Amino acid sequence: GAGVSQSPSNKVTEKGKDVELRCDPISGHTALYWYRQRLGQGLEFLIYFQGNSAPDKSGLPSDRFSAERTGESVSTLTIQRTQQEDSAVYLCASSSMTGRSPLHFGNGTRLTVT
């Protein structure tokens, strides 16, 4: 595909359940980012991948949040024991190696924890 793809687009889950969000970056993009956006708020950084290593995990809000990336491809963000405060849109972005390259965003996964 031409762009960043995220799935599912919407996810409703019960409090306490685990969820897995998926991101397919643009082919050849080595950098991958996860962000969280609460309703009406700005983007909040979660984690950055370079290849399949994560040199910056400083934005993960708790140990219930984890992410992995296989090769320079798909990434999954896992939230364990979801809480209502986890309800938000989770956005994934990818970019190529240089600092001049823009971030290419997917359209996000809207997570609702009931």
Partner 1 sequence: KNQVEQSPQSLIILEGKNCTLQCNYTVSPFSNLRWYKQDTGRGPVSLTIMTFSENTKSNGRYTATLDADTKQSSLHITASQLSDSASYICVVRSGYSSASKIIFGSGTRLSIRP
Residues that bind partner 1 (CB under 8 A): 4, 30-31, 33, 41-43, 45, 48, 50, 55-56, 91, 93, 95-103, 105-108
* Of 21 and 93, CB closest to partner 1: 93
Structure tokens at 31: 């950098």
Question: What's the closest the beta carbon of residue 51 comes to partner 1, in angstroms?
Answer: 10
Q: Which of 2, 25, 14, 15 is nearest to 76 (CA)?
A: 25
Cβ of residue 90: shortest distance to partner 1, in angstroms? 11
Closest CB to partner 1 among residues 43, 74 = 43
C-alpha neighbours within 13 Å on the C-beta side of residue 114: 4
CB 93 within 8 A of CB 104: yes
19 vs 93 by CB, closer to partner 1: 93
**Residue 91 CB, nearest approach to partner 1 (Å):** 6
- Name the nearest CA neighbour of 83 among 36, 25, 22, 42: 36
